[in-house]
Structure 1
Amino acid sequence: MPVVNLDHTLTLAMSVRDRHRSADWYVDKLGFTLLHHIDEAGWSELATKTEGVTLGLGEQTEPQPGNTVPVFGVADIEADRKKLEAAGVKFDGPTDTVEGMVSTATFYDPDGNALMLAQDLSGK
């Protein structure tokens, strides 16, 4: 039995220099659909051609190639984080919250690969 119950969504988060330019590239080249730009959070999100999978673009001054982080949707991030921590999973700092948008928490697999939990707070 899994420690947490993930929902049926997956966001692949990548760091980019210019979210707007990158979003245009994914729309033009791969046919993705822009869902939104959230400028105050430095975040853009696109629907991929795979149901339940989105691409998130986080803006950074110097993004590193190969920096994709799978972001798993959950209904209760605090409860699921506590369960994972109790199971020995290491997290990177506290849970981050953008009120009315999302709460996220980065954690690591046994090889140090970054993964993330996200709880949608938008009421959608």
Structure 2
Amino acid sequence: MSLVSVDHTITIAMSVKDRRASAEWYKTMLGFEVLYHADDAGWSELRTNTPGVTIGFGEHTKPAPGNCVPVFGVADLDSSRQKLEQADVRFDGETDVVEGMVKTATFYDADGNALMLAEDLTGGAA
């Protein structure tokens, strides 16, 4: 049995210089659908052609090349984080909250690969 139960969604988060330009590239080149641009949060999200899988772009002036962070949806981030921390899983700082949108927490696997948990705060499906 696992400590945390992730849901049926995965968001692949990447840092980019220009969210809108990246979204247009993925739309044109791969046929992905732009779901939204959250300008206040510096975030854009696209639906891929794989059910339950989205790509999110975080805008940064100097994104790290080749970066990619799988984001696993959970129903209760605080509880999930607590269970992982009790198992000595290392987290990167505090949980981030964008009110009315999402709650996220970055953590690391045994090899130091970054992963993230996300709880949907929109009231919609995760």
TM-score, with length taken from structure 2: 0.98
* 1:20 alignment partner AA: R
Deviations 1:1-53 (A, max 9, x none): 10000000000000000000000000000000000000000000000010000
* 2:28 alignment partner AA: D
Which secondary structure does the structure 1 equivalent of 2:12 belong to? Answer: strand
Query: Aligned pairs, how many?
Result: 124
Which secondary structure does the structure 2 equivalent of 1:35 belong to? Answer: strand
- Indicate the residue corresponding to 1:76 in structure 2: 76
Instruction: List structure 1 segments (4+ residues) > 6 angstroms apart after TM superposition.
Output: none
d(CA) in 1 for partners of 2:42, 2:50 = 24
Identity of aligned residues (%): 66
TM-score, with length taken from structure 1: 0.99
d(CA) in 1 for partners of 2:66, 2:10 = 18
1:66: Cα distance to partner? 1.3
d(CA) in 2 for partners of 1:104, 1:18 = 22
Deviations 1:66-114 (A, max 9, x none): 1100000000000000000001100000000000000000000011100
- Indicate the residue corresponding to 2:108 in structure 1: 108
Q: What runs of 5+ residues in structure 2 fail to find an aligned partner?
A: none
d(CA) in 1 for partners of 2:65, 2:28 = 21
